[in-house]
Structure 1
């Protein structure tokens, strides 16, 4: 029983690693920098998830600056990475959670790209993207510590959440520090 659970978990992790892998087809200097920042080598699931996390951090920075085009560029890099590795997928090959997260990341990134001129709409989609990237970060980690910032939104809504490499970070939802958010963010190592 334990072996079958372990094998199922490892199979899901391996498939997710394949789905998140990417090549060297990034032409912009920002995208190349994201790859260097996110992946020391392209062979591990941590490295492959790290590349997506690095692109996510660029989206976050764009939203903090109020630059929807910078956020869209980060989202476009995520889409490129998810599309580069064209792996045949089915529910039998992938774990359900892995497939759901991958599809959600792809969907949110698509919305961020298509709404580059509407920063408020981008911030709405960033909310879900942050939940998905949080899943990747907690599953695989990142090469640098990440701070998880949370802002309570009441019982009927998801908390605002974002990841940052800084402990004291402005909110990508408003572009400024949020005093109502947690003063001691969780750390993912």
Structure 2
């Protein structure tokens, strides 16, 4: 009888151990799945991807950023981030309004005398191109807005490379949109402006700009 009880006890302990390990493995697999989108490679099969369509807003997106160099560069970035948020939210009407606002801010951008002649020339070219794409965004439907936002994002990134930034800005990248497309964000959290709610967290942080 004692031998039987001992055997049953060993079996019970083994069963409990296997159950605990299994739960931990399942939890680990779930966590890995939840973080999968930020680690996507360029050859991911689009049809097999599962994206989180959460609409939660990250407080970091609203944080103001102090710029070195040109004071109005801050205003440009603020308007750019607001426009990005509108595209993330699939809000075509708001993106139109914010595109017009950004175009005006870009037109009023004062180029600091601290910049070299070469930098001044580059900034003028960047601003001229950015205004054109911001104006297109102010007049078109959301699919077309996103096409222009891709080029606008490059312009703003080039501007930041000259004007600098005291706070960290994150350059993020979506491998799925138009052969690969980047944008800037104040937060590490991926909120994709090219797909919005369809694939909200599709992408990864490409680099930090300080």
Question: Normalising by structure 1, what TM-score?
Answer: 0.63
Change in Cα spacing, 1:147 to 1:141, as seen in structure 2 (3 Å) is same
Structure possessing the higher relative contact order (Cα contacts under 8 Å, 6 or more residues apart): 2
Displacement, 1:51?
1.1
Change in Cα spacing, 1:86 to 1:47, as seen in structure 2 (3 Å) is closer
CA RMSD of aligned residues (A): 2.9
Q: Among 49, 53, 64, which residue is 2:73 paired with?
A: 49
Deviations 1:4-26 (A, max 9, x none): xxxxxxxxxxxxxxxxxxxxxxx
User: Structure 1 stretches (4+) deviating beyond 6 angstroms?
Assistant: none
Change in Cα spacing, 1:58 to 1:82, as seen in structure 2 (3 Å) is same
Tell me the equivalent position of 2:180. Answer: 159
Q: Is residue 38–residue 48 contact of structure 1 (8 Å, CA) maintained in 2? A: no
| Cα distance between partner residues in 1 of 2:120 and 2:71 | 20
SS of the aligned residue for 1:45 comes to coil
SS of the aligned residue for 2:182 comes to strand
Tell me the equivalent position of 1:14. Answer: none
Unmatched 5+ stretches in structure 2: 1-62, 112-116
Tell me the equivalent position of 2:150. Answer: 127
SS of the aligned residue for 1:63 comes to helix
SS of the aligned residue for 2:154 comes to helix
Unmatched 5+ stretches in structure 1: 1-35
Q: Is residue 108–residue 125 contact of structure 1 (8 Å, CA) maintained in 2? A: yes
Q: Among 94, 118, 127, which residue is 1:102 paired with?
A: 127
Displacement, 1:145?
1.8
Q: Aligned runs of 1:18-57 on 2, under 5 Å?
A: 37=64, 45-57=69-81
SS of the aligned residue for 2:85 comes to helix
Displacement, 1:45?
3.4
Displacement, 1:77?
1.7
Question: Normalising by structure 2, what TM-score?
Answer: 0.57
Q: Among 161, 164, 170, which residue is 1:141 paired with?
A: 164
Deviations 1:43-76 (A, max 9, x none): x634221210110000100000001222222222
How many residues were matched structurally?
A: 140
SS of the aligned residue for 2:138 comes to helix
| Cα distance between partner residues in 2 of 1:64 and 1:161 | 14
